[in-house]
Structure 1
Amino acid sequence: MKKISLIILVISVFNLMSCGNKKEKEDFGTSTTNSLVSAETGKTLFEGKGTCVACHKPETKIIGPSIREIATIYKDKNGNLVEFLKGKSDPIVDPSQFEVMKANFAITKNMTDDELESIKLYINSFN
């Protein structure tokens, strides 16, 4: 009887924990106040995982346009930077450099929505 009670208790605790985890997974990424989405996180991604900093500097065009230019043009043209980084929209800043940028889609397409939103916030902080 003790074994049955213990098994029932373990199953009950497991079910409670599973339900809690499902809720957390469902909510992740849907909140606009998610603390993981920030310009600071975006800067870290931009300079690290995204390797964006290799071609984009804050104020100077190197290989690609400057971060400030990207922010300004996307704001002025009401562009969707996240959709571009997902490979779902056409380039609007410097289409002549698009072939070079396409190589980075292998990185940005695998980023989460939160990561891409953070990069967008970082870029927009230059505007």
Structure 2
Amino acid sequence: MKTKIIFLLFILVLAVTTGCGGKKDDQNFDEKAKINSAAYPLSDKGKEIFEGKGTCNNCHKLDVKLVGPSIKEIAKIYKKNKISIATFLTGTEEPVIDPAQYEVMKINFEITKNFTDEERQAVEQYMFSQGK
């Protein structure tokens, strides 16, 4: 009898702490996705460009410095200082983060300078949507 009571208590505690199958986590994810798509309507297009023709993901990862700073670090600093990533991608702005890597980034300006304004804005929105 004690074993059954302990088992039932264990199941109850497990159900409460996991949100009965993780629905709470799914709801949080869905809410975050709705907020991001409302605040950054071009972020999906930006991700496609970032990972595709922009080749940005060769040097930038979400939360790890690779060749260049992480997406989260870039987004945090650009948001904090109210600076446009889209303008930086035109090749006309000075670097804000890691100036030592600027020469490497200059090579990619040959790609990003040819983006439309909307494409550069989409990349910026994608990066901002990934920041905290």
Fold shared per TM-score above 0.5: yes
Q: Give the distance between the partners of 1:54 and 1:103, measured in 2 at CA.
A: 13
1:91 has 2:95 as partner: yes
Matched letter for residue 123 of structure 2: I
* Paired amino acid for 2:61: K
Name 2:20's counterpart in structure 1.
none
Q: Measure, in 1, the Cα distance between the counterparts of 2:130 and 2:68.
A: 16
Percent identity, please.
Answer: 49
For residues 77 and 104 of structure 1, what CA distance do their matches in structure 2 show? 23
Q: Unpaired runs of 5+ in structure 1?
A: 1-36
**Distance in 2 between residues matched to 1:92 and 1:124, nearest whole Å:** 15
- How far the C-alpha of 1:112 sits from its partner, in A, is 0.2
Report deviation, 1:82. 1.1
SS in 1 for 2:122: helix
Q: Which letter does structure 2 place at the counterpart of 1:126? A: Q
TM-score normalised by length of structure 1: 0.70
Q: Is 1:54 paired with 2:58?
A: yes
Letter aligned with residue 104 of structure 2: V
- The yes-or-no answer on 1:65 pairing with 2:69 is yes
| 1:102 alignment partner AA | K
Please state if 1:45 is matched with 2:49: yes
Give 2:122's aligned residue.
118
Q: Deviations over 1:40-96 (max 9, x none)?
A: 000000000000000000010000000000000101111121111001111101111
Gaps of 5+ in 2: 1-40
CA distance in 1, matches of 2:66, 2:80: 22
Whole-Å separation in 2 of the counterparts to 1:73 and 1:126: 13
Please identify runs of 4+ aligned residues in structure 1 that moved more than 6 A: none
Residue-pair matches, total: 91
Q: Under a length normalisation based on structure 2, what TM-score does the superposition of the two structures give?
A: 0.67
Q: Supply the distance in 2 between the matched residues of 1:90 and 1:83 (Cα, whole angstroms).
A: 10
Secondary structure class of the residue paired with 2:130: coil
